[in-house]
Structure 1
Amino acid sequence: MRRAGVELSVVVPVYNEERRLPGSLVGLGLALRGLAAEVIVVDNGSTDRTADVVRDQRFPVTLLHCPDRGKGAAVRAGVLAARGRFVGFCDADLAASVDALPSVLRLLRHGSDVVLGSRAHPGSQVRARHSLLRRLGAWAFRRAARSIVPGVGDTQCGFKFFTRELAVAAFEPLRTKGFTFDVEVLARLQRLGAVVEEVPVRWIDVAGSSFAPLRHGLRSFADLQRIRAVLDTEPRPVPDLVPEAA
């Protein structure tokens, strides 16, 4: 059941984020000030003081522990625990600025099914420090992901929001536990008939990411093949969670 009065739930997956998390939670709290919102921080097995950082916050933050390792597993746990009318997630470093939240919420209130922050949007401001290897890998990944989620310019920006019903329908059967989970979620949403809307973001690459281009990058391509195979074996759902246009 949805908690009375909560309109927006924001999930933040974390792993050993004691350094970056304090500032990010302050920024998130300021962005949500005046809104009927909840913040759920999902600790994915941290070995540092991440949990203590969450407990020390001056505004209410729910701390959820997810022993099942992987960003996808952590976000799934947070989404399924959320109680707001709308549910979304952002990265612990707030690389995608939360100043886009008001416009995201406005779109959801006016009937949008899914709103994604997109670095590929022509209105986005992107400051990246990625190596040539990572840029080439990202380009190849986008091309490969396009066959699974056509029409989505940026599947991996950590700034995604949904109606709660669609979020549960997409995350409950989620099989991908690692960084590529976004592709499976978006594919499931498209199969449900959701209209995916991308919005511009102000995105700044922040040092300290746990993504390793070689190790995680190769695994991500393997995940794409597995996602395609999994979806091909599942019956197509009846898209009854998306209201028909008047």
Structure 2
Amino acid sequence: MPMLEKEDQSKDNIEGTILLVTPVWKDSSRLAVFGRELANHLAGCEYNLEWMIADDGSGSDECNRLTLLHDELKETYPNMSLHFADAHCGKGSVVREAWAQRLDANWYVFVDADGSLPPAELTRVLDAGLISNKTIMPIRKRTEHTHVDLTLPRRVFHKLFILAVRLIVAVRCADPQCGAKMLKGDDYRMVATSLVEVGLAFDTELLTALSDNDIAWKEMPVTWIERDGGKVKPMRDAWGMLAALWNIRQRQRAGKFKI
């Protein structure tokens, strides 16, 4: 897919409802830091954007903490909501479940709760989507205007996973697993019923479904800063991710993504 080119268009008079979902599982502490930064940032913007915190079955204590955090953040950015999954199923499950709460949104966005994608970078992604009217895939890539801070194990896993995605499901994307996506509502609704991955391979399954239906996206380099305390462990999770990729491949060969 082509990289995002500079746009000369203006955002003036662009309309569209945006549903931004932040999935979280037993991670209210990191979300509190990122959430306050993001709420302050969104409060200074003029998007028609609802920010939904979506808990993936973290349990009653964590849900209570999220409720208090939501109430605090809502004082800064009023257009917020909370969604609680009935049970812990995985990131893909809770993101799709949250997006399904607003079936008529013009844009579906998610951003991880750890703050690796800074709020200013998220708004750059939002602007790019609104101006280009294209689905946007942020990619972790160093450029003149962006920098990427990843540990060596994460960098190695990142490169190997890109290769695995190309070889197994024939999807070419410079960063299938970047923890943020911005999808046009019509693009997502076209493939939503074909998606079943509940875990971390959700992103790759989504890209596979889009690619199999010739739905184009734009890739956009972003600044990415790895945060401490992440639950994804490359060495531990690698085999599970490969197994999920193989399952996606089997469904792809069976024509499950073709609309």
In which range does the TM-score fall when normalised by the shorter chain?
0.7 to 0.9
What is the CA distance between 1:40 and its match in structure 2? 0.9
Cα distance in 2 for partners of 1:196, 1:218 equals 28
User: Alignment partner for residue 36 of structure 2, among 26, 42, 46?
Assistant: 26
Which residue number corresponds to residue 231 of structure 1? 252
User: Alignment partner for residue 53 of structure 1, among 48, 69, 79?
Assistant: 69
Contact 1:113 1:166 in 2 (8 A): no
Secondary structure at 1:20's aligned position in 2?
Answer: helix
Residues 1:178 and 2:190 aligned together:
no
* Correspondence list, 1:1-246, <5 A: 7-33=17-43, 34-47=46-59, 48=62, 49-57=65-73, 58=75, 59-60=77-78, 61-66=80-85, 67-82=87-102, 83-120=104-141, 122-123=143-144, 124-128=146-150, 130-132=151-153, 134-147=154-167, 148-234=169-255, 237-238=258-259
Which has the higher mean CA deviation after the structures are superposed, 201-210 or 93-102? 93-102
TM-score, reference length from structure 2: 0.81
TM-score, reference length from structure 1: 0.85
Cα distance in 2 for partners of 1:198, 1:45 equals 32
Secondary structure at 2:47's aligned position in 1?
Answer: coil
Higher share of residues assigned helix: 2
Contact 2:92 2:201 in 1 (8 A): yes
Which deviations, in whole Å up to 9, do the C-alpha atoms of 1:74-112 show, x marking residues without a partner? Answer: 111122223531111000012012213443333323444
- Relative distance call for 1:163 and 1:121 in structure 2 (3 A) is farther
Unaligned runs of 5+ in 2: 1-14
Contact 2:194 2:256 in 1 (8 A): no
What is the CA distance between 1:149 and its match in structure 2? 4.8
Contact 1:13 1:42 in 2 (8 A): yes
**Alignment length (residue pairs):** 232
Which deviations, in whole Å up to 9, do the C-alpha atoms of 1:36-64 show, x marking residues without a partner? Answer: 11001110011322343223322332111
RMSD: 2.2
Query: What one-letter code is carried by the residue in structure 2 that aligns with 1:213?
Result: P
Unaligned runs of 5+ in 1: 239-246
